[in-house]
Structure 1
Amino acid sequence: MTTTAPSALRVRPRIWIGLAIWVGYLALVFTIQVSTGIPYDEWGDSAGNLFFGGGLSLIIATVLLAITTSLLGWWRPALFERERSRHRWPIFVPILAATAVVMNLAGTDWASYSGAFLAASVALLLVGFTEELVNRGLLVVALRSSLHEGWVWFISSALFGLGHLINIALGAPDGGTVIQVLSAFLGGTIFYILRRTTGSLIWAMVLHGLWDFSVFATGVGTPADLVYLANVVYLTAGFLALAVVAFVIRGAHERADAAASPADPSRW
């Protein structure tokens, strides 16, 4: 069982608030990335393209999300479960995904990285904080105000996947983006399982950030064959996540009590 210190919710969770944050985050990131004039498929051409094309929007989003979460008073329920899943063994799925991260990093052509390019790519780690806080943090808190935990998992994972459709408007190929959407749904399920089994969103933030960073890193220079195997391992982890996610949903008591006062510290 996860123990957490009392913390008042300044604003009572509602589904529309979570959806508004999800839409607002996508609109913010899209607007900033479009304004740079750097197409999605050219981010890897230089350190400047990478920073202004991807990193800048993540830095701004990080600041605004931190302010939003503080104003709502949702930090504790966004980052921590009331109780960890009774079934802890499904954590083998995110461990398998973490293995794929290690394989990607081991197969990366690090000799092709310049210092400036590596510094710019480190900013991509922020995607773990921003996308997890939005999708499996604030959105989950909002969905739990009214829905069964099964719907919380499905809707948060589905919206996480669908959010990647904006990449088409940023210049990404249609077919590749559709595959990315499906892969993100599977990845979202992996991260949800990690939240439920550890009782904290923080580990999901770390794994998410490292996965995205490792995927981008393999696109620099000439990667080793190990990278292709890593993709298979990650995809396998995603399908296994679908097979076992019911075990971490079962018995969840995370739904917010609509009758509680928004300032009632006993809820968390």
Structure 2
Amino acid sequence: MRIKPTLGAAVCVYLIYSAIILATWGVVGARYANMVSADVVLTSLVLPLALGTVFLAAAVSWLGWWKPAVKEERRGGPRWALALVLIGMTGMVVVNGGAANWSGFSPTHLLMLVAAGGDGWI
């Protein structure tokens, strides 16, 4: 590990990630109010998130933070807490999926939203 994971180091990584997203939005002329229409999903969501992901993967690799990021030394809380979170998340997916107007999405638009990680569905 090159640098010990600290709040300051994590904030620096986060600020650079955010700057990449905002700079990409500025370059492509993204409008925050129109992030999910079919014609702008690729440039407004997929491209900035892909560039941010590349940066995060490179930063975490260079800093040597993969092991502490993906492996806990000791197990977290009780199993019922995990079950409660999973039930809640499943419920949200079902409710939001049932409320969505799926006929209003073209297949290409859905593919771009899935590629963006679903961030534009909100």
Asked if 1:39 corresponds to 2:27, the answer is no
**TM-score of the aligned structures, taking structure 1 as reference length:** 0.42
For residue 118 of structure 1, the aligned residue among 107, 110, 116 is 110
Which deviations, in whole Å up to 9, do the C-alpha atoms of 1:29-69 show, x marking residues without a partner? 11111221121111223x23111112110011111111111
Which deviations, in whole Å up to 9, do the C-alpha atoms of 1:191-213 show, x marking residues without a partner? xxxxxxxxxxxxxxxxxx5xx46
The residue aligned with 1:90 is 81
Q: Assess if the C-alpha contact under 8 Å between 1:32 and 1:57 holds in 2.
A: yes
Q: Assess if the C-alpha contact under 8 Å between 1:58 and 1:123 holds in 2.
A: no
The residue aligned with 1:58 is 49
Residue 60 of structure 1 aligns with an amino acid whose one-letter code is: L
**TM-score of the aligned structures, taking structure 2 as reference length:** 0.85
For residue 19 of structure 1, the aligned residue among 6, 11, 15 is 11
* Counterpart-to-counterpart distance in 2, 1:48 and 1:59: 18
Q: Assess if the C-alpha contact under 8 Å between 2:42 and 2:112 holds in 1.
A: yes
Cα RMSD (Å) of the superposition? 1.9
The residue aligned with 2:70 is 79
Mind listing any 5+ residue stretches in structure 2 that lack a counterpart? none
Assess, with a 3 A threshold, how the Cα gap between structure 1 residues 100 and 86 changes in structure 2: closer, same or farther.
closer
Query: In the TM superposition, what are the counterparts of 1:1-268 in structure 2 within 5 Å?
Result: 9-45=1-37, 47-91=38-82, 92-125=84-117, 212=119, 216=121
Residue 112 of structure 1 aligns with an amino acid whose one-letter code is: G
Partner secondary structure for residue 14 of structure 2 = helix
Q: Assess if the C-alpha contact under 8 Å between 1:55 and 1:120 holds in 2.
A: yes
* Counterpart-to-counterpart distance in 1, 2:77 and 2:53: 32
Mind listing any 5+ residue stretches in structure 1 that lack a counterpart? 1-8, 126-208, 220-268
Residue 33 of structure 2 aligns with an amino acid whose one-letter code is: D
Question: What percent identity do the matched residue pairs reach?
Answer: 30
Matched positions, count: 121
How much does 1:94 deviate? 4.1
Q: Assess if the C-alpha contact under 8 Å between 1:33 and 1:53 holds in 2.
A: yes
Q: Assess if the C-alpha contact under 8 Å between 1:29 and 1:57 holds in 2.
A: yes
